[in-house]
Structures are given as structure tokens and as C-alpha cells.
Structure 1
Amino acid sequence: MQFYARLVTEDKGASLLENPFVNSSKTPINGWGVLREATVSNSVRLTFYTPSNAVIGRYSLELDINGERTNVGAFILLFNCWASDDIVYLSDEAQRQEYLLSEFGIIFMGEPSNPQHVPWDYGQFQDNILDICLSLMDSTINYRRNPSEDVRRRNDPSYLCRVLSAIVNDRDDGGVIQGNWSEDYSGGTDPKAWTGSARILRSWYPQKSPVKYGQCWVFAGVLCTVSRALGLPCRIITNFSSAHDTNNNLIIETYYKVTGEPSDRGGDSIWNFHCWNESWFRRSDLDAKYSGWQIWDSTPQEKSDGMFQLGPTSQFAIKEGDVDKKYDTSFLYAEVNADVLVFIEQNDGSITKGSTDTVSIGPLICTKAVGMNSMNNVTQEYKHREGTPEERQVYSKARSLTSGAVGFVALSSAGETATAPNSDPVVSGKIIINGTPTVGDDINATLFLKNLTLANKNVTANVNASAIVYNKRVRRTVFSDSVAVQLGPNEEKPVALQILYSQYENSLTTDKMIQVCSVCQVEGWGELYVEANITLQNPPMEIKALGPAVLGTPLQLEVTFTNPLSMPVADCVLTAEGSGVTHVIHKSIGVLEPAQTISVTIDTMPYMSGTKQLLIIFTADKFHMIKNFTTIEIAEG
């Protein structure tokens, strides 16, 4: 009598990988084994053991008696972060609960000064989600090219991170999500309308047609679900002021017109924020010090080994500037710690070199805190403190490993011919946003200019404000001005700026972001560039449960919202959804008059016990997807 475990894939059945269970009289040590525990009457109880390095996936359990095979069952083998000899072992129980078992999370967006908390329903334990995740592994290009080799590597999370980061986007292999940053979402779903992963994965399967549309947090949310479903601890990271380095020199070249408007020159960019994933495992392909949190990203940005995939990249390698380590470490390093060179395009088309910035990229890198709906700042896990000798030394090391010279260097043809100021800066500047403006408010800001010398300085401050999307693509200019400022020796002067709601009302993107730029022309010296980015806040929306939450018992919730505008708001709709609490509910509200407050009752019937989240979305012609959530403890009936 011999038992076998045969790996099952969608198209090949159980033909690719077979493991015999060794009959044993004692508990097998890290191998395929079967132990007879007890015999009662004509029944026998058997315990099956699998090695810690076993290939994950769906298995058929077969019994061979005298050469005749019988299928006696099936099982699914996943990574096990509770097992100390598993490659994904995570010693902290609270982290295991958060990074593997938690079905809900928070993704941070907006600005580093005031990050927005956006809920996400991972739903890794919902019906058929694990089946879909197993199907994903059978849908990659690597599997289609060489099924036998692919399945034998499914015990290595480094390999799986790489292929899964490719299949979650649709650029190479008919993957799950089609990206769209155009603001035209016809024929699909606005990325901000997604609230969780399960609906996306179910929309992809079984036809396996890409789901329209996603942006970085959607890719990260779905990839986190897949990772947790397969037993691989995972969390979502947000990097604010995230650099996109297209030429691997760890320098971001940005171009602005002398009027303060962003120029379309150059291929590099700086996103207001970008989301990716981290998973915890041991790197078998690198030295032990590179184990721990590994970064991977399914947002299609640049090709790696000919495909839109990224990672896994050791977090430790990034902090130490070891950008020659696998995989894609130099690109990730640039995202969090590149230097920025600003170039100014003059009216005659010539280019001059502006300021050098070594601190603005990656000022805040964060994730959800363990066990709490708050933020955990992990910036110091990625890099040494900005401006310290350690940070500059690591940057120099990283530049040398990319064969780049350290210093003021441009790699574009326009940058190479640019003229530079003939001395160190003689004037400094900064833009401060007054307060925390909400959609509908006028935006008040102050440009501060300071003379750094003992001589008088004349400055012309050209100011431009544009409505942008979160990757800083400009939609429309909403404000421009030019102000002459005279500065005495060591004098600092404020320049008041105001952008009226009427100026940005019809130009505001769904990201609700305004970029304020100023090119300050210093007579006899050159140009100084300063900027500030604003993410307008949504008006508040309150959610309150009107009684205890009990499984199978009606539960009412009250949603309260006030129109803060001095004009009516039309096409108002409330949407409620939350795994375990309710399926999707839509309520049409109609028109809200100025300053009108509404209280809307939502009727739900909780269908799962435990800790759940209910998400409420309010949409209207003047407001785009105001979101809030509440955590609900659902008791057994």
C-alpha cells in the first residue's frame, strides 16, 4: 500500500509532479510521510506529513494497492508562517494575524502631511478566492512556456512574487487588471470605485479577461489578497513623493517652464504617492541579511527581464544601497531616495539648470499598523535619515553601483546642454499651504522668499497652479500670477496666494490634487524652483450602528452628511458594502441644498461573525467618492 500526492493544475491535471508518502512508524522529519495513528475495527487513522519546502498548490491524494491507483481525496498545500522551518516563517503572532489572516486593511493616499485612510477589503477567505489564486499560478507566461519547470519552483516565494506580479497586470499575459490613468473610464470601472479584491478576481475568472480599470492601490490590493491566500504574509506600502526613474541613474530630471508651468520634456516623473507590496520570507538566492521584507509590485511601470514585473527586492538591500542585488533594486531605490534635478525652459526654448534637491523623494513611507486602523511609519526601514552622512554615503554607493557619477549630472540631451547658475543659491524659497482645505474652500497659500546674502536682490516670482492626477499629470492650469519682490540683505518676505473655488471647481480631478509651482527669477543669478502639492479633503461623513451586531439579525446603520457648499449638490447616491455585513446596497438621495444635513438609514443583515468592516461611499456631481468606514464586531447568533 502506497500513498502519493500529485500536484493538480487546470490544464494538465495531475501529470506534472508526484511525491510518494513514505510509510513511517514515527513522526516523519520534514519529508513526505504517512504515520498510522490508530486502528479501530476495520478503520485506520492516518496522519500525512509534508516537507517545509514542498511545492504549494492543489494536490490529488492517491492510493496504490498492487499497482492499481485510486483517488482517495484532495488537499491544498500553502505556505505556513507558523512553521519555524518554512521559508515564510514569521515569529510574531500579532504580525501573523495582521499580515496573513486579516481580511481588511487601510491604504494610505494623498499627501505626506495629511495621509488619507482608504479602506480595502482583501477577502482572501471568501468563497472561491483561493481557487482563483491557484488558477492565477496556472495562467502565467512561465507556466505556459514550461509547465513542469514552473510548478517545481512554486515552493520559492521569490519565484512566485516575480510571476504573480506580472499576471496581476494585463500588459504581457492577459492578466487580471488593466491599468488606466487617463480619467476616461468608459467601458470599465473608475479605479476609485473598487473597494476590495474579491469582486475584481471574480470578474477576471473564469473567462480570464482583464478587468477594467486599476491604478497602483488596486494592483497592490489584489496582489495582497493573492499573497495572503497562498499563505505568504503581505502588507501594502505607500511611498509619498515616489520617483519613477526611467534611465537607472538614480536622478530624477524635472522640467518647468519659466512661467512655472510643468514642461513635457524628460521621461522621469514624481508621483504624489505610489503603492506596492511587501511580503515576508527568507531569500534563498541571497545572503541571509537580505531576508525579511521583500518588495514586489504589479503596477506596470518598467519592464524587467522583458516583462512588466517587479521584485522581489530586499528592503535591507535598498536601505544599504546594494542596488546590484536581485531583483530591480536600483529602480526601487530610486523610488524612495533619488535626487532631483530641476531644469527651467526659457521662453526662447533654451534650458537652464535650476535647483538640486536631495531630500524630497520618499519623505514618508508607511503601512497600516498591526492590529490598529492607524499608520505605521516605516521610512527608516527603507533609508537612513535624510541629510545624514549615512544617507549620503549610501546614495553615493548606490550611484557607483549603477555606474553613475555622483553629483549634478543630467542624462537627457536637453539637460546636457543646459547652462548652470554661476554660484550657490542666493535666495531660498518655500510654499506653505494655510490650513487643510476641503473641496469647496478657497485655497490660501504663502510663498516665502529669503535673501541669503548681504546685497539687495530683485526677484520675479512666476506662480502656476494646476489640477493634477496623483502621478502629477497636469489636467488644466487653474491659477497663474507673476509678482515682483525686492529683498533687502537677509530679508524674508511673504507673498500671499489665493486660488478661488470657482477657479478650480470644474478642473479638479478625481484625485482632488492641486500642484502649486513657482519659478523665481533672481536678477543676476538664475532661477529658483519651489512647489507645494495639495490634496483637498472631502467633507466629513459619519457612520453609526443603531444597535448590536448579531449574526443573522437585522442591523441598521445611520449615515450623516452635510453639504458644505453654498450651492445645491445633485445626483447624490450612497453605496454601502462590506464582507460579512451586507452585499452592495445603493440608495439614491437626489439633491442636497446648501448647508443641508441628511441622515440616511441603511438596513443590513450580517451573514458572518467576527470583526468586519462596513464601507460607505457618497457620490454627487460636486463630490467624487467620499469614503468612510466603520469596524463592526458581529456576535454569534
Structure 2
Amino acid sequence: MSLQNILAANLHVSVPNHSRQANGSFAQISCEKNTVGRHISTKAVGSDRREDITHLYKHPEGSEEERIAVETASRFGSKPNTYFCAVANDVTLNVALKGEEPQIGQDAHLSITVKNSSAERRSISLHCQVAVIYYTGVQKGTVKKDDISVNLKPREVQTLEWTLPYDQYKNQLVDQAALMLTVTGRVRETKQVLATQFNFRLRTPDIVITPVGDAVVGRETVAKITFKNPLQCVLKNAAFRLEGLGLQTTGMIVFGDVGSLATIDLTVKFTPTLTGLRKLLASLDCDQLTQVHGVADIFIKQM
């Protein structure tokens, strides 16, 4: 593909017919001011065509969220003073998880802390948006939006509880179960812009492996496998893969359907071939739930 076609395809520029000179070089290339910086595209999944994903990143033109995004971006560009500067920057914004990482199948609880460092009252309008993201950081889609008003007294700190219900994300998750909360806002009195992003993951459950009795090389050994379905839906055609160096070759146990919030117990038998400390690994093979693993240390004695 020529440079002219590459520019036209990827940068959304219009190339006039007179841009190619007689000697094969290029003259002036004019850009479409109405498209550059306004459209975002990426390679479509499973195709060589490009997919328009502008709606995943841009707010409606002229909205308060869009203005905040533009002003925030401009501060880090070559002309940081393009937009009106805040009279004061005395309000801070912070996002954190409440407790440990939430487990998949549960509501996610986060906290948004707003601090007023000034001796005057401050009124803030916050816009919250959480999106599912792929492991590459590309957004899949927005699952929840909120608008919050906060009134702070002088020197006051407020911590707001923010919850993402399971019902709102259960059909949107992809591998790695990653989400991103974006919080933007503006202080009414000073016109200060607030913006922050917080990435978090949902923990997947563990497969618990418990050895039963002593393990001796050359003798049949038993281990118990316990797994609880954390989702409020049935896991279809679930199977467990087992492997362990010196314990057994890779094998599969086909279990079938696992009921909603159900706990299952399996018993596996294997004959160790090597002595010493060994690891038995287990993983879940299921379309509805991925990245589920378990490991146990098993000491194999000499006969």
C-alpha cells in the first residue's frame, strides 16, 4: 500500500489529486479538520476491516464530560493554556477498593474520597463510569454510569461508597475479569477539573486440593478436590484438568453441570512415580467461568 493510501486509510485525511508531482514526490496533503481527533478505530476481531470504537471513549460532543476530557488532555499537550485555568486547585479526588478484591459473582464495592483543602466551601459535580476492559486495556463496553453531587465544608473530607452490582456486569465480562472506573468532575466555585481512573479485577474462586493420607511412591494415593460455583447461574459441561510432575500425566475429569452457587467434591486417585515434594495442579474447563486454578504440595515418601 502506498504512503498516500496509508495516510488516507489510517489518518482519515483527504488527498487532493494534485498532491502527486511529476517526479513522483508528494506535495501538500490537507487534513479533514472535522475527522482528525474525532474518530477512533481499531482492527476488528477476526477480520482485517477496521471497527469504529469512538463511542467507547468519547462522550457526546459538547457535554460536560466531553469538555472535562478535552481540557484535561490539553493540559498535557503543547498548548496547556488553551483553556481557562482554574482559580485554585484545592480539591483532590481518590478512588480505592473497599477491603480485598471482590470475587466474581459478587457486588464490587469501591470508595471515592473527595478532600477540600481550602478554607471555603466547595461544590463538586462528579461523573462516574465503569467499563469492562480487555487485558490489552481496550474497552469492551460501559456497564454503569452515575452522576454525583458533593458539597464540602472548609477542610472537609468525604468518602462516598460506590457499588457495581453483579447483575450489571455479569453478561459483559471477558478473560481476566478486568474493569476500569473513570471519575471526572468540576468544582463549581473555582472551575477546577478533577479526573482519575482506577483499574481493578474480580477474583476467581480457587480449586481446593486436599491430600488424603500419606503419599508413597509406587502406591495409589487419593486427593480430594473441592470447588464452589460463585455465579448465580449453572456452569455447563464443566470439566477438571489434572496434572503433576511425578504424580500423573495430564488427565481430565468430565463432571457435567455445576448448579448455581453449588459446592462439589471430587476424589482423584494417582500413583506417584517420583519421591520428594511435588505439586498437583487442577484447572476448570468451562465456558461460563475461566482462569480458575488450584495447586497443592504433596510430599511423596520412599516405599
Query: Normalized against structure 1, the TM-score is what?
Result: 0.36
User: In the alignment, which residue of structure 2 is the partner of 1:485?
Assistant: 150
TM superposition shift of 1:354: 6.9
Identity of counterpart residues, as a percentage? 22
Query: Quick one: structure 1 residues 585 and 350, their matched pair in 2 at CA, closer, same or farther if it must change by over 3 Å?
Result: closer
1:353 aligns with 2:72: yes
Provide Cα deviations, 1:150-195, integer angstroms capped at 9, x if missing partner. xxxxxxxxxxxxxxxxxxxxxxxxxxxxxxxx9x79xxxxxxxxxx
TM superposition shift of 1:538: 1.7
Structure 1 counterpart SS, 2:216? coil
TM superposition shift of 1:569: 2.2
Query: Quick one: structure 1 residues 354 and 427, their matched pair in 2 at CA, closer, same or farther if it must change by over 3 Å?
Result: farther
Structure 2 counterpart SS, 1:351? helix
Provide Cα deviations, 1:341-397, integer angstroms capped at 9, x if missing partner. xxxx96369832379xxxxxxxxxxxxxxxxxxxxxxxxxxxxxxxxxxxxxxxxxx
Structure 2 counterpart SS, 1:623? coil
Kept in 1: contact 2:116–2:155 (CA 8 A):
yes
CA distance in 1, matches of 2:231, 2:254: 20
Q: How does 1:207-356 map to 2 (within 5 A)?
A: 347=66, 351-353=70-72
User: In the alignment, which residue of structure 2 is the partner of 1:547?
Assistant: 213
TM superposition shift of 1:615: 0.9
Query: Quick one: structure 1 residues 262 and 526, their matched pair in 2 at CA, closer, same or farther if it must change by over 3 Å?
Result: farther
Higher strand fraction (1 or 2): 2
Kept in 1: contact 2:181–2:199 (CA 8 A):
yes
Kept in 2: contact 1:351–1:417 (CA 8 A):
no
Higher helix fraction (1 or 2): 1
TM superposition shift of 1:628: 1.3
1:611 aligns with 2:290: no
CA distance in 1, matches of 2:283, 2:254: 12
The equivalent position to 1:417 in structure 2, one of 79, 82, 88, is 79
Q: How does 1:495-534 map to 2 (within 5 A)?
A: 495-523=160-188, 524-534=190-200
TM superposition shift of 1:614: 1.1
Provide Cα deviations, 1:454-490, integer angstroms capped at 9, x if missing partner. 2222211111111123342222211111112222212
Provide Cα deviations, 1:505-556, integer angstroms capped at 9, x if missing partner. 1111211111111012222333112233222112232111123222222222
User: In the alignment, which residue of structure 1 is the partner of 2:32?
Assistant: none
Provide Cα deviations, 1:583-619, integer angstroms capped at 9, x if missing partner. 1111111112233221111222222222221111123
CA distance in 2, matches of 1:597, 1:615: 19
CA distance in 2, matches of 1:350, 1:461: 13
1:434 aligns with 2:153: no
Structure 1 counterpart SS, 2:167? helix
CA distance in 2, matches of 1:580, 1:434: 42
Aligned-partner residue type, residue 435 of structure 1: G
Aligned-partner residue type, residue 71 of structure 2: T
User: In the alignment, which residue of structure 2 is the partner of 1:570?
Assistant: 236
Structure 1 counterpart SS, 2:168? helix
Kept in 1: contact 2:68–2:185 (CA 8 A):
no
CA distance in 2, matches of 1:346, 1:566: 35
Kept in 1: contact 2:227–2:264 (CA 8 A):
yes
TM superposition shift of 1:504: 0.8
User: In the alignment, which residue of structure 2 is the partner of 1:599?
Assistant: 265
Report which stretch shifted further, 446-455 or 346-355: 346-355
Query: Quick one: structure 1 residues 351 and 423, their matched pair in 2 at CA, closer, same or farther if it must change by over 3 Å?
Result: same
Structure 1 counterpart SS, 2:175? coil
CA distance in 1, matches of 2:291, 2:255: 14
Kept in 2: contact 1:350–1:418 (CA 8 A):
no
CA distance in 2, matches of 1:499, 1:346: 20
CA distance in 1, matches of 2:272, 2:291: 24
CA distance in 1, matches of 2:215, 2:117: 63
Q: How does 1:20-59 map to 2 (within 5 A)?
A: none
CA distance in 2, matches of 1:600, 1:350: 52
Aligned-partner residue type, residue 510 of structure 1: D
CA distance in 2, matches of 1:550, 1:457: 70
CA distance in 1, matches of 2:68, 2:96: 30
Structure 2 counterpart SS, 1:416? coil
Aligned-partner residue type, residue 482 of structure 1: D
The equivalent position to 1:462 in structure 2, one of 118, 121, 127, is 127
CA distance in 1, matches of 2:254, 2:97: 36
The equivalent position to 1:444 in structure 2, one of 85, 109, 115, is 109
1:634 aligns with 2:300: yes
Kept in 1: contact 2:229–2:259 (CA 8 A):
yes
TM superposition shift of 1:441: 0.4
Aligned-partner residue type, residue 417 of structure 1: K
Q: Which runs of 5+ in 1 are unaligned?
A: 1-181, 186-256, 264-344, 356-407
Provide Cα deviations, 1:68-111, integer angstroms capped at 9, x if missing partner. xxxxxxxxxxxxxxxxxxxxxxxxxxxxxxxxxxxxxxxxxxxx
TM superposition shift of 1:424: 5.6
CA distance in 1, matches of 2:128, 2:65: 15
Kept in 1: contact 2:68–2:184 (CA 8 A):
no
Which structure's relative contact order is higher, taking Cα pairs within 8 Å and 6+ residues apart? 2
Query: Normalized against structure 2, the TM-score is what?
Result: 0.71
TM superposition shift of 1:621: 3.5
TM superposition shift of 1:498: 1.7
Q: For this pair of structures, how many residues does the alignment match? A: 246
CA distance in 2, matches of 1:588, 1:484: 52
Kept in 2: contact 1:354–1:527 (CA 8 A):
no
RMSD between superposed Cα atoms in Å: 3.1
Structure 1 counterpart SS, 2:280? strand
Kept in 2: contact 1:354–1:528 (CA 8 A):
no
Q: Which runs of 5+ in 2 are unaligned?
A: 1-42, 47-53, 59-63
Kept in 1: contact 2:182–2:196 (CA 8 A):
yes
Aligned-partner residue type, residue 79 of structure 2: T
